[in-house]
Chains A and B, each alone.
Chain A
Amino acid sequence: MQVRNVYMDHAAATPIDRKVVEVMLPFLNESYGNPSSFHSVGKVASDAILNARSSIAQILGARADEVIFTSGGTESDNLAILGYARKNKDFGKHIITTKAEHEAVLESCAELEREGFEVTYLDVDEYGMVTADQVEGALRDDTILASVIYANNEIGTVNPIREIGAKIQRARKGSAKNFPVLHIDACQAASALELNIQKLNVDMLTLNGSKIYGPKGAGLLYVRRGIKLQPLQFGGAQEKRVRPGTENVAGIVGLASALQIADDGRVQYVQKTTELRDKLINGILSSISKTRLNGHKTERLPNNVNISFMDIEGEALLLYLDSKGVYVSTGSACTSQSLDPSHVILALGMPYEVAHGSIRFSLGRDTTEEDVDYVLETLPPLVEKLRKISPVKVDEKYY
């Protein structure tokens, strides 16, 4: 079998689309002006940002002044949660989120708890999903904010955001107040799912460039008009003073271009990757015993495959795959900075040993059927070898 290079870690990072690079390049070279400068060189840069903002707003179904540019997903999540909670704490100090959020949300919530806020972490079901009724049931008079991940970064499960948003809006109408509001992290969802904020019924939305074939270090937070945030940093008047600092012009332009390309190709991308995803899932589950699909079978991102391989440890399998040119990620503790394995797999009700053995394959625009075939051929002997070395037998009820 010929060794191929099969990159299946697009949920971690995507390459930058060539067309995106092209629109970015001028702003790294000749158009280097500071958008705040009151001369022609600066005007070129500020026009570019203006255009980027309005093109993004159009895709989101939002107004241009509702888009705040940031350094990426983590900052957007932090700004949404910390910024909103701190600014609105006089109205209430209760926040709702889920146990399967991204760390950027969970750690922001933990910080708010240290500041005296109360956070409800909703359980997710065995597929990693939270229901609108659960969110509604957790609402209190002093709930100011709910933050729910749109599509989970590890297991790809898609949450019913539209329904959750409708419940939040109803709660607002019922009390005739401006809160609670709903924030969603849509970083992983951006290439595949609906992004229109009016259809989604959301008040704040996080997006970034590096998951959609755009640049790293470029992200945005959609903030519905009327919502006030306390800044996390201070300085100039950029981004309505909510996010001061000289704009990352090339990054912003690249982000807008990447989002436009993703939006234009959405239908085709979803169709193609869904087919390959299902081929990979079915192939692994049928050819390798003692495996388990983590996440929902259908309500999942079209490019996400997350499988636990019982009796073996994820890092070992990741490195064996790496030696065959297949690049994946794992929920194993050994590859994370903390020592606990994936909190998402644990939140599904799975024990530590199942979380330690989880592998995420995330497909991309350029993934081919040959790539999937190669993975399906390469994987079984590697799993078999590691199982031979392993003394562990995971309880049958988990697979």
Chain B
Amino acid sequence: MGNHSSKSKPGTGGDVSSHDKTQSWFYSDIVKDHFFNPRNFLDREPEEGEFNAVGKVGSPACGDELRVWLLVDSSSEQIKSFRWKTFGCGSAIAATSMISEMVLENGGMTLSEARTIKPQDVMERLGGLPARKFHCSVLCDKALRDAVNDYYRRTGQFDRIAVEATRIIDPVSRVTDRDIEEAVLEGAQTLELVQQKTKVGIGNPSVLPAVEELIKFYREKYFGGGPQE
């Protein structure tokens, strides 16, 4: 993959070398690097006892599915190994690769540190993502938190399992009420726009009535309601 240099190609030349970070479809050089040379992914099935925590988010139906495997040191609670598999677009693959590097830096984050990583942190390290890709493709923090909870569950530390302060609205895409709140705050005031930002209900339409209720609620909360369509 090392020969990537799309600068002078005709046709779609420049596809993945755009540096425009505002509304551009295409990706930063860091994203490109992690996409073409992903770090720490697991290119096989995990072996028995190789890891002691597993996390999962998404489904192929909604366009992204991520799995992460952690090896946690039981005394220090530092994450010593972080491996992953991702089905998804370029930015989903790059984001998972990036979060694996972030977690493993400096001898490995502790579980409590790892739990605080936000999608914004990953995006920053990636040198930005196209606006419309951000919410839908950075799911890796959710998969990581799922794995952290799994570790606590496996070690019987049930009191430390963090029930997400927010409520999961769509179990498939793991979109929470907080995600919807943020999307509304960023100006997505219709179901269609919120779906564009969050993927909520894509491939799982049964949750849509609940989503519409929430959009209405947050719209009224922040914008005083009124017709927005």
Q: Which residues from chain A sit less than 8 Å from chain B, CB to CB? A: 3, 5, 7, 9, 311-313, 315-316, 319-320, 322-323, 325, 327, 332-335, 338-341, 351-353, 356, 388-392, 394
Decide: A334 near B11, CB < 8 A? Known: A316-B93, A339-B202, A340-B202.
no
- Interchain CB contact under 8 A, A341 and B63: yes
Q: Are A388 and B195 in contact (CB under 8 A)?
A: no
**Residue B63 contacts which of A9, A313, A319, A391 (CB distance < 8 angstroms)?**
A313
Whether A3 touches B43, Cβ cut-off 8 Å, given contacts A313-B87, A351-B61, is no
Most A CB within 10 A of own CB, among B25, B63, B64, B195: B63
Among residues 14 to 66 in chain B, which have CB atoms less than 8 Å away from a CB atom of chain A?
Answer: 15-16, 25, 35-36, 38, 41, 43-44, 60-66
Set A311, A320, A322, A333: member contacting B87, Cβ < 8 A? A311
Decide: B62 and A313 in contact? CB cutoff 8 A. Answer: no
Q: Please give me the residue from chain B that is nearest to A394 by CB atom.
A: B60
- Size of the chain B interface, CB-CB below 8 angstroms: 41
CB under 8 Å from chain A, chain B span 60-102: 60-67, 85-90, 92-93
In the assembled complex, the Cα of A351 lies from the Cα of B36 at a distance in Å of 28
Q: Report the Cα distance A352→B25, complex, angstroms.
A: 22
Given contacts A7-B11, A327-B11, A339-B199, contact A392 B43 (CB under 8 A): no
Task: Name the B residues within 8 Å of A339 (CB-CB).
Answer: 63, 136, 195-196, 199, 202
- Please, could you name 17 A-B residue pairs with CB atoms under 8 Å apart, sorted by A? A5-B9, A7-B10, A311-B87, A313-B64, A323-B1, A323-B4, A323-B36, A327-B11, A333-B63, A334-B90, A352-B63, A353-B60, A353-B61, A389-B41, A390-B86, A391-B86, A391-B87
What residues on A are CB-neighbors of B195 within 8 Å? Answer: 339
Contact A334–B63 (Cβ < 8 Å)? yes
Is there contact, CB below 8 Å, between A316 and B88? yes
In the complex the two chains form, what is the Cα distance from A218 to B115 in whole Å?
55
CB-CB < 8 A to B64: which residues of A? 313
Residues of B within 8 A of A311 (CB): 87
Q: Residue A323 contacts which of B3, B60, B62, B87 (CB distance < 8 angstroms)?
A: B3
Chain B residues near A323: list those with CB within 8 A: 1, 3-4, 6, 16, 36
Within 8 Å CB of A338, what residues of B?
196
Q: A316-B89, A389-B85 are in contact. Are A356 and B60 (CB under 8 A)?
A: yes
Are A392 and B87 touching (Cβ within 8 A)? Answer: yes
A340 to B67, CA, bound (A): 22
A319–B90 CB distance below 8 A: yes
> B187 to chain A: which residues have CB within 8 Å?
none
B203 at the interface (CB under 8 A from A): yes
Quick one: which of A3, A5, A341 contacts B11, CB cutoff 8 A? A5
Contact B67 A391 (CB under 8 A): yes
Question: Which of B10, B15, B61, B87 is close to A390, meaning CB atoms less than 8 Å apart?
Answer: B87
Which 8 pairs of residues, A with B, have the shortest CB-CB distance? A353-B60, A391-B85, A334-B89, A315-B89, A352-B61, A388-B43, A392-B87, A323-B4
Is B86's CB under 8 angstroms from A389's CB? yes
Give Cα distance in the complex from A380 to B196, angstroms: 32
The answer to whether A388 touches B63, judged by C-beta atoms less than 8 angstroms apart, is no
Residues of A within 8 A of B67 (CB): 391
Contact in complex: B12, A322 (CB < 8 Å): yes
A352 engages B90 (CB within 8 Å): no
| Cα separation A353 to B60 with both chains bound (whole Å) | 5
Residues on the B chain within 8 Å of A316, using CB: 35, 88-90, 93
Shortest distance in angstroms between B51's beta carbon and chain A's nearest beta carbon?
Answer: 14
Most chain B beta-carbon neighbours within 10 Å: one of A311, A323, A388: A323
Interchain CB contact under 8 A, B85 and A332: no
In contact, B85 and A327 (Cβ under 8 angstroms): no
Bound CA span A83–B18, Å: 40
Nearest CB of B to A316, in Å = 6
Assess A312 versus B61: contact at CB under 8 Å? Given A388-B43, A389-B41.
Answer: no
Report Cα–Cα, A391/B66, bound state, in Å. Answer: 7
Given known A322-B12, A327-B12, contact A389–B1 (CB-CB < 8 A): no
Report the Cα distance A320→B35, complex, angstroms. 9
Task: Give the distance in Å from the alpha carbon of A27 to the alpha carbon of B56 in the complex.
Answer: 60
Known: A313-B63, A313-B88, A352-B62. 4 other contacts (CB 8 A): A313-B92, A323-B16, A334-B137, A353-B60
Contact of A388 with B41 in the complex, beta carbons under 8 Å: yes
Which residue, of A5, A311, A332, A394, has the highest number of chain B Cβ atoms within 10 A? A5
Q: What is the bound-complex CA distance between A352 and B201, given in angstroms?
A: 13
B43 touches A332 (CB 8 A): no
Q: Are A390 and B85 in contact (CB under 8 A)?
A: yes
With a cutoff of 8 Å between Cβ atoms, the chain B residues found around residue A390 in the complex are: 65, 85-87
Q: In this complex, which of A338, A340, A391, A394 has the most chain B Cβ atoms within 10 angstroms of its Cβ?
A: A391
Hey, which chain B residues are within 8 Å of A394, CB to CB?
A: 60
Q: Roughly how many angstroms separate A390 CA and B42 CA in the complex, as a whole number? A: 9
B211 to chain A, nearest CB (A): 13
In the complex, what distance in Å separates the CA atom of A136 from the CA atom of B56?
49
A334 and B64 alpha carbons, distance in the complex (Å):
10
Q: Knowing A313-B88, A323-B36, A339-B199 are in contact, say whether A352-B43 is a contact too (CB < 8 A).
A: no
Report whether B203 and A352 are in contact in the complex, using a CB–CB cutoff of 8 Å.
Answer: yes
Q: How far is the CA of A341 from the CA of B87 in the complex (A)?
A: 15
Nearest A residue to B45 via CB reads A391
A320: chain B residues within 8 A (beta carbon): 1, 36
Q: How far is the CA of A312 from the CA of B89 in the complex (A)?
A: 9
- Partner among B15, B25, B41, B89 whose Cβ is within 8 Å of the Cβ of A332: B89
Q: Please give, as numbers and ranges, the residues of chain A lying within 8 Å of B3 by CB-CB distance.
A: 3, 323
A residues near B196, Cβ cutoff 8 Å: 338-339
A319–B11 Cα distance when bound, in Å, is: 14
B63 CB to closest chain A CB, in angstroms?
5
Nearest-neighbour CB distance to chain B for A353, whole angstroms, equals 4
